[in-house]
Amino acid sequence: MPSKLKLYNTLTRKKEVFIPIKKSHVSMYSCGPTVYNYAHIGNLRTYIFNDLLKKSLQFHGYKVDHVMNITDVDDKTIIASQKNGKTLKEFTREYEKIFFQDTDSLNIKKPDHILRATESINDMVKIIKILMNKGYAYKTSDGIYFSINKFKGYGKLAQLEKRKKDKTKERVKNDEYDKENMQDFALWKFYTPEDGNNFWNTEIGKGRPGWHIECSAMSMKHLGNRLDIHTGAVDLIFPHHTNEIAQSEAATGKKFVNYWLHAGFLNVKEGKMSKSLGNVLYLKNIITQGFSPLDYRYMCLTTHYRSALMFSLENLNAAKNSYERLKNICQELKDDKTTNKSYLDKFEKVIEDDLDMPKALQVLWQLLRDKRAKGTYQTIKKMDSVFSLDLLEKPKIHIPDEVKKLVSEREQARKSKNWKLADELRDKINKQGYVISDTDQGPVVKKG
């Protein structure tokens, strides 16, 4: 059956029918975190998008082989680890652990393969040697650089030919540089005393990799020379993904990626949320203000992944209220073991249109408001395999021992038909902030 799934391809700037290289299988690579600090909620929006994409592909019956890297060596990680008086490994593993704690709390499924840059050095060296032998890379006193003038079509992903550029021949030594300049970029940086103990002795010299070569090496290591899908935030289009394409295609002589997908920014009133602007919020910040990670996940679903998402505590609070109302309704549903084909078809249709999650949420709400609909429980279960909002999972609440004791005493009073005492104990439970419901399976306690 022909694919109906359409994805917006940054390379062509249009929606395209998704056709994988290998039938029913998808190779997917996502740029992972640079583990020198907490990932802020703008970063986490991109990982929520990756998760939604993967689960949408699986919803459509594809087997997805998902690879993500961990950047645990670059300028930022080295400087930050030295500033904190820790080895690079100690420092980066700490933030790597925190990152996965955050993504777990957001119901983001871990990629099938998670590769650290420091454990993939030999793979990078192999590619750099190929690029040198082919004449795309050259050696200087401080490193090995990729010559962008040697690669035909450099900048096609970012459409650089449509933008006014400074064409001056330059080299860039650091991992980040002026987004308005096209420059030769470092594949390998020769050792300097500032690097401390962070170096590798290799065939191409003592040193460490540049940032861009890391992703090419790690993606091709597991997924081969050609990938179906590559994802990242929109700010990676240039220079990072532009340079990935150049070095990968120069090395293999083949098209690197068929579909490039990019998530939009998370904006605040001052503009883009970023560490450099000092306007970031971390997941722990919103949790301390009374929000759950899934409140934030729900908020991300309300805006299309390619659009900028405006963040404010007021907007997050509105999402929290909607999500809690949605979950409360779903908790009352009973399983009738059937699905509703009509609503599932509607859901699938909007997902097929470049993962239109806001419309998918609308379909979900329409189903819940349709009193004549059959198979609501199982249909929502299938929808939530993509949303991952735990809509049908019973909330896990902590019930204090004092409240548990009151519940037990009330059960004894009910069994003894002492209804007056049972009512008094119910009132005491209510005053503790809990509500008790009597069911055929026994008492059910919820937060009031």
pLDDT at residue number 432: 86
List of residues 6+ apart from 277 with CB closer than 8 A = 270, 271
pLDDT range class, residue 173, cuts 50, 70, 90: low
pLDDT range class, residue 180, cuts 50, 70, 90: low
One domain for residues 405 and 371: no
Task: Give the pLDDT mean for 194-213.
Answer: 97
pLDDT at residue number 272: 77
Q: Does residue 397 register a pLDDT over 90? A: no
Query: pLDDT tens digits for 32-45?
Result: 999 999 999 999 99
Total domains in the fold of the chain: 3
pLDDT range class, residue 407, cuts 50, 70, 90: very high
Query: pLDDT tens digits for 373-391?
Result: 999 999 999 999 999 999 9
pLDDT range class, residue 200, cuts 50, 70, 90: very high
Q: How far apart are CA 269 and CA 273, in angstroms?
A: 9
**What is the greatest pairwise CA distance in the chain?**
91
Residue 337 lies in a domain: yes
pLDDT range class, residue 344, cuts 50, 70, 90: very high
pLDDT at residue number 412: 92
Q: Does residue 168 register a pLDDT over 50? A: no
One domain for residues 140 and 197: yes
One domain for residues 202 and 349: no
pLDDT at residue number 274: 76
Task: Give the pLDDT mean for 143-161.
Answer: 94
Q: Does residue 400 register a pLDDT over 50? A: yes
Residue 1 lies in a domain: no
One domain for residues 302 and 418: no
One domain for residues 273 and 341: yes
One domain for residues 225 and 372: no
Q: Buried b / exposed e across 87-103, counting CB within 10 Å, b at 16+?
A: ebeebbbebbebbeebb
Task: Give the pLDDT mean for 69-82.
Answer: 97
For 238, phi and psi rounded to 5 degrees? -140, 130
Residue 9 lies in a domain: no
Residue 78 lies in a domain: yes
Average pLDDT score, the chain: 93
Residue 204 lies in a domain: yes
Pick 114 or 400 by higher pLDDT. Answer: 114
Residue 349 lies in a domain: yes
Residue 14 lies in a domain: no
Task: Give the pLDDT mean for 282-307.
Answer: 96
One domain for residues 373 and 443: no
Residue type, 357: M
pLDDT at residue number 221: 95
Q: What is the domain-level CATH number for residue 138? A: 3.40.50.620
One domain for residues 185 and 295: no
The residue among 263, 283, 299 that closes a domain is 263
pLDDT at residue number 271: 75
List of residues 6+ apart from 109 with CB closer than 8 A = 51, 54, 55, 388
pLDDT at residue number 176: 60
Residue 137 lies in a domain: yes
Pick 398 or 298 by higher pLDDT. Answer: 298
One domain for residues 254 and 306: no
Closest residue by Cα to residue 106 from 288, 293, 323: 293
One domain for residues 146 and 272: no
Residue 425 belongs to domain spanning: 401-447
The residue among 263, 278, 297 that closes a domain is 263
One domain for residues 372 and 443: no
The residue among 387, 411, 432 that closes a domain is 387
One domain for residues 241 and 317: no
Structure tokens at 221: 């290591």
